[in-house]
């Protein structure tokens, strides 16, 4: 089974960083994503709720603001809850695993050459998650 979501959109508001009771950082925000449309049809926009945890949450709250383009790779999760009237509800949201800047030309208000900008990203991986490979001086077979 596979649950992978890749989205690019604009933040609808400044992200707000919160901390859980046990000290874990969490950042919830929403992005506006245009749907593809055919000629003659009205353009449609979806508003998608995103949740980032720990270091990803801190990264988003520090470097992103309302209106900026953001690229997100994550997974869909659902939550069930009861509203104020006692009705059962289901919320759908994307849990961000990897976050990247997607609006190079508009970053910091500069109209910089987008070909000169290098993508900046953040993922939940840690440098300790990788192992160095000693390939020695062996000749490659190709």
- Give residue-wise pLDDT tens across range 26-35: 999 999 999 8
pTM given for the model: 0.69
- Bigger pLDDT: 71 vs 37: 71
Contact 33, 78 (CB under 8 A): no
- DSSP state letters, the chain: ----EEEEEEESS--EEEE-TTS-EEEEEEEEEEPP--TTSPP-EEEEEEEEEHHHHHHHHHH--TT-EEEEEEEEEEEEEE-TTS-EEEEEEEEEEEEEE--TTTGGG----TTT----EEES--GGG------TTPPP--
Question: What are the structural domains of the chain?
Answer: 5-36+43-111 (2.40.50.140)
């Amino acid at each position: 089974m596979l649950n992978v979501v890749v989205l690019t959109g604009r933040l609808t508001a400044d992200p707000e960083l919160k901390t859980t009771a046990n000290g874990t950082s969490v950042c919830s925000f929403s992005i506006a994503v245009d749907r593809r449309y055919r000629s003659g049809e009205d353009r449609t926009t979806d508003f998608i709720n995103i949740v980032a945890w720990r270091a990803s949450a801190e990264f988003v709250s520090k470097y992103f603001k309302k209106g900026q383009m953001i690229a997100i790779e994550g997974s869909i999760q659902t939550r069930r809850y009861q509203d104020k009237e006692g009705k059962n509800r289901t919320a759908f949201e994307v849990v961000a695993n990897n976050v990247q800047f997607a609006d190079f030309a508009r970053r910091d208000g500069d109209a910089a050459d987008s070909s000169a900008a290098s993508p900046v990203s953040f993922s939940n991986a840690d440098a300790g998650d990788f192992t160095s490979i000693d390939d020695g001086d062996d000749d490659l077979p190709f």
